[in-house]
């Protein structure tokens, strides 16, 4: 259960919310209660001053420590949260008041919430007989009337400040608000986690199903997702591209098997029929018949050698014999050697070769690549057509362009023409001959020199092959 992405997303969202709530509640309590404590201390000081002022004013109005003075002090609401002891100038006790027990209990509750546990400290001062057993404080003040000392006032209270039910209710309200916020936040986090996991999981599950279909061989599978999340869009595009690539490779393998079978079957069938005819006495073993058999054997050997050569190239077992030579002169020699074949097919060949272009490369391998591309141009250009060959050097690179007016290549076939044994239905039909690996060998030879070969073509209008080579070979 916990290994599922949906569960983990919900738990992560819930955990983040719970941690945030816990952190906020701690910060809120520390901040609010510390400020509340400072506020209560100031209020306590104000209350003490009000009690002293009440006693001094009552004495002044009534002209001494009379019954009216004592009554006025006793009925005031200001003294309810204090222990008070008043002495006259002769140190005689004239008034005593004790706070109620419920005030002590409320104070203890509040102090516990605010992190001030009661230390069990005894009382002190003139009210030492009032042992409360809590953090009891006694403050002694002198009383004056018209700047004349009229006695002393001992005010006792618990803790650094006194609390009332109102203050306790205030702190309870804060804690309730934090609790309600925590509950709402946790519920929101659960709902958000479920919603977000659904958004993420729906396309991921589609992609997973598609990947399983591809694994089962259903290579026509496509993934379509409706959300706009970039990463998921890229993942679905990658899966679709993978399916298309695998499907293309599967078709290519089938065609490859068919082409190899044909390339091997044709010469073997000819050999078999000729040998059987000679063996049965139908044909005489004349030189012509033997030459046919020999040519088919040579064809088989050439095919096997080309395959071996291609395997060596693709396995990085190709050894380049690098040398500095004139590519311009070498290309002219290749064109001159093929000139008769172009003339026999009535194909016009034009060249624009920059003089004295030097290259550091394997002369034989580059010549083989050029012959392969020119031979293709010869094969697939109809009589009366033309082939243009250009050689230029620009910015440290050498560019060779071979442009023909042949039958061209369909746009859908272009990505595959450098695959071994690949031939389209028309432009690379078996009527033109060849094993279909010339361009594959050419591509590998050019890339072995650190270059690249590209093709531009349009069906019925011809093809343009571009070979780009570095002047200084750095691939070895």
End-to-end CA distance of the chain: 54
- Residues 283 and 139 placed together within one structural domain of the fold: no
- Residues 272 and 411 placed together within one structural domain of the fold: no
Is 451 within a domain? yes
- Residues 281 and 240 placed together within one structural domain of the fold: yes
Write the CATH number for 350: 3.30.565.10
CB atoms within 10 A of CB 224: 9
- Residues 288 and 346 placed together within one structural domain of the fold: no
Quote the pLDDT of residue 328.
Answer: 92
Quote the pLDDT of residue 117.
Answer: 47
- Residues 280 and 345 placed together within one structural domain of the fold: no
- Residues 225 and 269 placed together within one structural domain of the fold: yes
Is 68 within a domain? yes
- Residues 262 and 367 placed together within one structural domain of the fold: no
CB atoms within 10 A of CB 79: 21
- Residues 227 and 360 placed together within one structural domain of the fold: no
Distance between CA atoms of residues 357 and 391, nearest Å: 8
Is 312 within a domain? no
Is 18 within a domain? yes
- Walking along the chain (476 residues) 10 residues at a time, the average pLDDT comes out as 64 77 77 76 85 90 89 87 88 86 53 46 40 69 89 82 67 79 80 75 79 81 75 81 81 70 75 85 83 83 73 67 90 90 91 91 88 89 92 89 90 78 52 63 87 90 92 60
**Number of domains the chain contains:** 3
Is 309 within a domain? no
- Residues 377 and 328 placed together within one structural domain of the fold: yes
Instruction: Map tokens 């001959």 to a residue.
Output: 433
Is 203 within a domain? no
Domain with 256, as residue range(s), is: 219-294
Is 442 within a domain? yes
Is 202 within a domain? no
Quote the pLDDT of residue 105.
Answer: 54
| Tokens representing residue 286 in the block | 């004349």
CB atoms within 10 A of CB 44: 19
Write the CATH number for 156: 3.30.450
- Mind giving me the DSSP string for 132-184? -SSSEEEEEEEEEETTEEEEEEEEEEESSS---HHHHHHHHHHHHHHHHHHHH
Show contacts of 189-193: CB within 8 Å, 24+ apart. Answer: 189/13, 189/14, 189/16, 189/17, 189/18, 190/10, 190/13, 190/14, 192/13, 193/9, 193/10, 193/11, 193/12, 193/13, 193/14
Element spanning 249, H or E: helix 230-279
Quote the pLDDT of residue 262.
Answer: 67
- Residues 146 and 241 placed together within one structural domain of the fold: no
- Residues 289 and 374 placed together within one structural domain of the fold: no
Name the nearest CA neighbour of 107 among 154, 201, 47, 171: 171
- Residues 323 and 384 placed together within one structural domain of the fold: yes
According to DSSP, residue 122 is labeled P
């Amino acid at each position: 259960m916990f290994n599922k992405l949906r569960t983990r997303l919900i738990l992560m969202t819930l955990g983040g919310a719970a941690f945030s709530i816990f952190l906020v509640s701690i910060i809120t309590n520390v901040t609010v209660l510390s400020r509340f404590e400072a506020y209560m201390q100031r209020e306590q000081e104000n209350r003490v001053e009000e009690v002293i002022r009440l006693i001094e004013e009552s004495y002044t109005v009534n002209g001494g420590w009379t019954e009216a003075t004592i009554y006025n002090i006793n009925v005031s609401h200001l003294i309810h949260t204090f222990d008070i002891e008043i002495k006259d100038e002769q140190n005689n006790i004239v008034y005593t008041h004790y706070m109620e027990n419920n005030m002590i209990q409320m104070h203890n509750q509040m102090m516990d919430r605010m992190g001030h546990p009661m230390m069990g400290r005894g009382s002190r001062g003139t009210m030492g007989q009032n042992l409360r057993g809590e953090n009891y404080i006694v403050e002694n003040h002198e009383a004056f009337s018209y700047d004349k000392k009229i006695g002393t006032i001992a005010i006792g209270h618990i803790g650094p400040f006194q609390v009332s039910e109102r203050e306790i209710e205030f702190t309870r309200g804060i804690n309730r608000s934090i609790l309600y916020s925590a509950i709402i936040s946790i519920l929101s986090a659960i709902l958000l986690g479920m919603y977000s996991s659904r958004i993420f999981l729906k396309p991921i599950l589609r992609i997973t199903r598609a990947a399983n279909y591809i694994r089962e061989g259903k290579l026509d599978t496509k993934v379509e997702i409706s959300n706009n999340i970039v990463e998921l869009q890229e993942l679905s595009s990658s899966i679709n591209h993978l399916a298309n690539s695998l499907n293309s490779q599967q078709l290519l393998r089938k065609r490859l098997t068919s082409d190899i079978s044909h390339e091997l079957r044709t010469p073997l069938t000819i050999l078999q029929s000729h040998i059987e005819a000679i063996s049965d006495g139908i044909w005489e073993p004349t030189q012509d018949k033997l030459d046919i058999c020999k040519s088919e054997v040579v064809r088989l050997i050439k095919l096997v050698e080309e395959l071996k050569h291609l395997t060596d190239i693709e396995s990085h077992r190709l050894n380049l014999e690098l040398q500095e030579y004139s590519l311009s002169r070498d290309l002219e020699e290749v064109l001159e050697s093929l000139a008769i074949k172009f003339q026999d097919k009535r194909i016009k060949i034009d060249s624009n070769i920059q003089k004295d272009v030097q290259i550091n490369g394997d002369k034989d391998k580059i010549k083989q690549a050029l012959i392969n591309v020119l031979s293709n141009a010869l094969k697939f250009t109809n009589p009366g057509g033309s082939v243009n060959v250009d050689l230029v050097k620009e910015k440290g690179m050498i560019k060779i362009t071979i442009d023909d007016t042949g039958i061209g290549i369909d746009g859908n076939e272009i990505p595959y023409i450098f695959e071994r044994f690949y031939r389209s239905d028309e432009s690379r039909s078996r009527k033109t001959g060849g094993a279909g690996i010339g361009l594959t060998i050419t591509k590998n030879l050019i890339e072995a020199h650190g270059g690249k070969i590209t093709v531009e073509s349009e069906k019925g209008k011809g093809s343009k092959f571009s070979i780009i080579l570095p002047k200084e070979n750095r691939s070895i």
